Structure 1
Amino acid sequence: MERKSSRTIHVWLLLIVIAVFIWSLIKPASYLSWVLESTPAIIVLIIVLITYKRFQLTTLSYVIIAIMAILMFVGGHYTFSNVPLFNWIKDTFDFKRNHYDRFGHFLKGMFGIVIRELLLRKTTLTKGTWLFFIVTSISLAISALYEIIEWISFIIGKGGKTAKNFLGNQGDIWDAQWDMVLALAGTIIALLFLSKLHNWFLRNELKNVQKGE
């Protein structure tokens, strides 16, 4: 894939994310909830934009980052427990909860591909079992850290409405464990099914990939 073509795709991805970002700011369920849910995505996007010229990721990684950002902006707008489509799914299939949060944690496992790219390009690691294990471990650690942040926010918020929306457990005492298991499953599936595609992007888009890739 030519660099000019790649950059065009990157620009379109950015424009789509910006459009969703602006939409999410228009009359959200709660501005405080929006800040809590959207801040991680905003931080990642700022880092990506600042480092773009000196450390450009593959288009696949940018697609994954864009999906993650959109996921969090949508959740920030409605709160993760009240996304309309998943409320409809809940009512239609008689589920006990809105599963957008669970769906989001599973999809966040795709971020393992971004972690994989950083490790391949910035460390001496090469493809193989150790790379798979380390990427999976880092992804699970990030998921656990996020659950800890949610817990701390709940304590600081003294269990108020905003804190409950951010925690999003919907009465499930095992919600944190489910979220981490789904993130782990999402990471493993992403590595199993997207690694070859990721290798193709690394070979065809980047000129400075480390030896071994």
Structure 2
Amino acid sequence: MPRFKIIDMILLATIAAVFIWSAIQPRDYFTWVLEVSPAVVLLIVLILTYHRFSLTTLSYTVLTVLVLLMFIGGHYTYDDVPLFESIQKAGHFKRNDYDRFGHFIKGFAILPIREMILRLTGITSKFWTSTISLSFVMSIAALYEILEWLTAKIAGTPAKDFLGTQGDIWDSQWDMSLAFMGSILCLILFTRLHDRKMADSGLKPK
């Protein structure tokens, strides 16, 4: 059985450290559980499948950033992350945009999705791999918004911080649009690098 790569172990150790920090006196434990649970489930799946289907370090790095953003948002709540609160005050903006930033970066999840499509389906056309990957990202983004709404409906007031609309009735549409834009930017910036990293790792399409 192959061992964990050192760089992947460093990424995992970073995640573990931030998770522990995030769990120490978060603003609201109920919101924290709601925010970090999807990331924890994702981590468990990645760890369990690591030896059978490991991804490139580039994909794992992207996923690490996404997980860390969710842990930070869970600790402070997305409405009150200090850095973006300072930006809000300095720019006299109406809202703390950490949530918007997070959804934009979540669009970068297109990279590991693209990798799985290339390696599992045999599809090699750049147009179709990009189109299918974008479809997956948008489906996940829409599903997440539905689950946020459903959780808030069931839990009521305690889930207000989890929903994080900050009074914007178009918040869900903004979140999905930003994930889409993040995906497009990620494809433009990293497609060639991603292909090269897969080739260097000997990870050939099926």
Could you say which TM-score interval applies, normalised by the shorter chain?
over 0.9
Q: 2:72 aligns with which of 71, 74, 80?
A: 74
Question: Which residue is 2:35 aligned to?
Answer: 37
1:194 aligns with 2:190: yes
Counterpart code for 2:169: I
Counterpart CA distance in 1 for 2:49 and 2:177 is: 31
Q: Percent identity?
A: 48
For normalisation by structure 1, the TM-score amounts to 0.93
CA apart distance, 1:177: 0.2
Q: 1:174 aligns with which of 170, 174, 196?
A: 170
Counterpart code for 2:183: T
Counterpart CA distance in 2 for 1:48 and 1:154 is: 28
Counterpart CA distance in 2 for 1:186 and 1:24 is: 25
Q: 1:58 aligns with which of 52, 56, 59?
A: 56
Question: Which residue is 1:84 aligned to?
Answer: 82
Question: Which residue is 1:151 aligned to?
Answer: 149
Counterpart CA distance in 1 for 2:122 and 2:59 is: 20
Q: 1:120 aligns with which of 115, 118, 121?
A: 118
Decide whether aligned partners of structure 1 residues 184 and 170 sit closer, same or farther in structure 2, where only a CA change above 3 A counts.
Answer: same
Partner SS, residue 5 of structure 2: helix
For normalisation by structure 2, the TM-score amounts to 0.96
Q: CA offsets per residue over residues 135-161 of structure 1, 9 Å max, x none? A: 111101100000000100111012x0x
1:209 aligns with 2:197: no
CA apart distance, 1:55: 0.9
CA RMSD, aligned part only? 1.3
CA apart distance, 1:127: 3.5
1:107 aligns with 2:105: yes
1:132 aligns with 2:130: yes
Unaligned runs of 5+ in 1: none
Q: Which runs of 4+ in 1 moved over 2 A?
A: none
Partner SS, residue 82 of structure 1: coil
Counterpart CA distance in 2 for 1:56 and 1:142 is: 21
Q: CA offsets per residue over residues 108-155 of structure 1, 9 Å max, x none? A: 011000100000011121141111111111101100000000100111
Partner SS, residue 152 of structure 2: helix
Decide whether aligned partners of structure 1 residues 208 and 199 sit closer, same or farther in structure 2, where only a CA change above 3 A counts.
Answer: closer
CA apart distance, 1:208: 4.2
